[in-house]
Amino acid sequence: MTRSPSRGTAGAPPHAQYDEALRLGILREATRRLRSAAPEKLGLRPLAASQGTSTTAIYTMFGGKSGLLAAVAEEADRMLAEALRESLRHDSVETDMRSLCRAYRRWALENQGLYALVVAEPVRSPRTDPGHRDPQWREPLLEIVDALVDEGVFRATDVREATTSIWASLHGVVSLELSVWRQSPSAEQYFETQLAAVLRSWAAGEGQRATPHGSANSSTGMVG
């Protein structure tokens, strides 16, 4: 039996008693289901039934499937950002960079449906308007790239440009693993090879890296 709220006093409409607990329940269950299912496979009827309600609740509180997926995408964005920050050990900015990139891959493999939602909007239509806020998950990557440039590990460059380039490379190799190499025993090595290549491509040239005391050091330390 579905949990359809009854008409309240003073002629309140049926949806007046759709509460925040129900909304959160629907959102949490949709997020759980999309860890492994593609967004287009999310069925609203079984989702609503699992929460003891009808699809009317989803349309009322989220505006339909597209609104629900947008809400799940926000939650997935937060989850990925948290996973990336948790990967940082702060031993060195170079070690943190590799740890963050590996955490990105690991989260995508463990949350394939959510990953599709997280990256869908940036891939479809990169936003450049001043009021647009970057996804939360980009912030740790931006911070690490900024630190690498600041310490002279990466060559002097526009931090956002470098971040976007690195992300594009990560997304490309992760997407190939999800769609083509999922069962390949070499998938991790493919990722590591691409990671080393992209980090090397941004590394400061020989003799350009500054040490904490201002002297030059030719080692980039970004491979391996």
Q: What does the block give as tokens for 198? A: 């992209």
How many other C-beta atoms lie within 10 A of the C-beta of residue 38?
11
Asked if pLDDT for residue 9 goes beyond 50, the answer is no
Kindly give the interhelix angle for 65-86 and 138-150, rounded to the nearest 10 degrees: 40
What is the DSSP secondary structure assignment for residue 87, as one 8-state letter? T
Q: What is the reported pLDDT for 220?
A: 43
Rounded to whole angstroms, the Cα distance separating 150 from 162 reads 13
Domains plus CATH for the chain?
Answer: 14-67 (1.10.10), 70-217 (1.10.357.10)
Structure tokens at 192: 């590591």
pLDDT per residue over 143-175, tens digit each?
A: 999 999 999 999 999 999 999 999 999 999 999
State the pLDDT at residue 121.
55
pLDDT at residue 131 greater than cutoff 60: no
pLDDT of residue 120: 76
* Residue in the block written with tokens 């925040």: 20
Answer whether residue 218 shows pLDDT above 70.
no
142, 160 contact by CB (below 8 A): yes
- Confidence category of residue 213, pLDDT binned at 50, 70, 90: very low
75, 63 in Cβ contact below 8 A?
no
Task: Give the N- to C-terminal CA distance of the chain in Å, as an integer.
Answer: 57
The DSSP secondary-structure symbol of 41 reads G
Q: Provide the 10 A C-beta neighbour count for residue 15.
A: 13
Average pLDDT across the chain, whole number: 84
Instruction: Assess contact for 61 and 26: CB atoms under 8 A.
Output: yes
80-128 confidence digits (pLDDT tens): 999 999 999 888 999 999 999 999 999 999 999 999 999 875 444 344 4
Q: Tell me, what's the pLDDT at 168? A: 95
Percent of the chain whose pLDDT exceeds 90: 68
- Cα 178 vs. chain centroid, distance in angstroms? 15
DSSP string spanning 133-170?
PPPTTHHHHHHHHHHHHHTTSBPS--HHHHHHHHHHHH
Question: For residue 54, is pLDDT > 90?
Answer: yes
Look at residue 134 in the predicted model and tell me its pLDDT: 79
* pLDDT recorded at residue 132: 54
What does the pLDDT read at residue 169?
A: 95
Mean pLDDT of 23-43: 94
Helix (H) or strand (E) holding 12: none
Q: What is the pLDDT of residue 56?
A: 95
| Percent of the chain surpassing pLDDT 70 | 78
Q: Encode pLDDT of 190-210 as tens digits.
A: 999 999 999 999 998 755 554
Contact 110, 36 (CB under 8 A): no
C-alpha span between 166 and 149 (Å, rounded): 13
